[in-house]
Structure 1
């Protein structure tokens, strides 16, 4: 199934590495004009070295006002992928207010902020666009030491549904994907220890963790016209974890 984003302009957050980098590259390969946003300039520069036509923007999306100004300055987009996130793994009884604030600032508030700017520009320019939020299986199932992270991703799922409801009349589709463990640098924080990793894999009917490409493929589909009647969904990419 060939999907083209020729002449489409797409913003990808957290695009310096991991899943976000994979999404940016695949959308670029499909013909999109990509703006890659990340906090870490060096990651973006390495991406642009490989793909010189990808535009890069570095900003700390925890800073509401600065992020708003930066995203507004970027103009109109046809699609947005809210991928940037952090994971702070702490036992529930030790979970701190600073970890809570940091996590929700990035995983929820920044998505609201960036999506507001992008969606308003879509509406003003009569663009019937698409937004995909990168959530997690942790929004649907309890995972040890993931209390704050799970809460943030559950909030993101709720935000996704609300966005789909209110932006649908403008022709803007909003969906989320909910991957299982994808062994990026962020995932290694919680899943690098072999015993813990094997315990999780035993709960996944397919018996393995996911690959970055498997998340990328789902995101590309949800951004494309191939999914033109799909909005407000939370799509598990979990090898059957949530089915058990």
Structure 2
């Protein structure tokens, strides 16, 4: 018989990864996951103390990590900072925010804050990273942290849904434009994940009960639920995956 095929590696040794919004929560966990898989991880955010603590923790665990102090809303400043370091093989476009409120109460400031960070900043970070990948001849992986709310609607989530549906469309179009360069673009679409940003929402017991009713596996998501997914999309194991979304929602969108 022919030799058995070998599973492509999930290891990321020798690759450079950039994670935005890496100071806490999902971003920090996924930075740790990429580091544990062997990547050199650059943690990027506005909070110097948080990303430095995260990088030190990754280093203490035997990984390779450094930091980049940027505000991704500042497109020109972010581009200058990224142009000042070596190109990346992997981007996790993770920085994001939310201002839940009824549609008719949303202000221009709310709109600009949520769409500005979740979509505009993500667009231009990805553009800058992709340009550097192309110029360096790297066949990279760009991963956008989307949401189940990029696949369905939700009450008091008009801005968040708009930004995350937009991110899904952006990723698909990027996948088409970047495929000739061997660069992949995908999204991860989680359900409600318990993090410092979301924890205050769950203090509302009625809200929590409604969420748990829709998550068919019966629990909130954890950051650990996303770590393996991100490593998979970054790795050679996902070499033929581009322009798609991995929905990690415990069954929310299944009905």
SS in 1 for 2:194: coil
Q: Check whether the contact 1:173–1:230 (CA below 8 A) recurs between aligned residues.
A: yes
- The C-alpha deviation readout for 1:45-68, integer Å capped at 9, x for no partner, is 211332344111111111111111
- Equivalent residue, structure 2, for 1:122: 133
The offset of 1:40, in angstroms, is 1.1
Q: Partner of 2:99 in structure 1?
A: 88
Deviation, 1:211, is: 1.3
Report what 1:38 is aligned to. 45
Given the alignment, which residue of 134, 138, 144 partners 1:133?
144
The answer as to whether partners of 2:16 and 2:89 remain within 8 angstroms in 1 is yes
Instruction: Say whether residues 1:71 and 2:78 are aligned partners.
Output: no
What is the match of residue 230 of structure 1?
241
Q: Does 1:209 align with 2:220?
A: yes
SS of the residue corresponding to residue 145 of structure 1 reads coil
Count matched residues. 244
- TM-score w.r.t. the length of structure 1 is 0.96
| Cα separation, 2, equivalents of 1:146 and 1:210 | 19
Name the residue aligned to 1:26.
33
Shift of 1:33: 0.6
- Residue segments in structure 1 that go unaligned for 5+ positions in a row: none
User: CA 1:145 to 1:190, structure 2 compared with 1: closer, same or farther past 3 Å?
Assistant: farther
Cα distance in 1 for residues equivalent to 2:202 and 2:100: 10
Once the two structures are TM-superposed, the CA of residue 192 in structure 1 deviates from its matched residue by: 3.2
1:149 matches 2:156: no
- The SS at the match of 2:219 is coil
**Is 1:219 aligned to 2:244, yes or no?**
no
Report the alpha carbon displacement of residue 189 of structure 1 after superposing the two structures with TM.
4.5
Contact 1:129 1:173 in 2 (8 A): yes
Name the SS for the 1:54 alignment partner.
Answer: strand
Normalising by structure 2, we get a TM-score of 0.92
Question: Is the 8 Å Cα contact of residues 56 and 65 (structure 2) preserved in structure 1?
Answer: no
Q: Distance in 2 between matches of 1:139 and 1:191?
A: 21
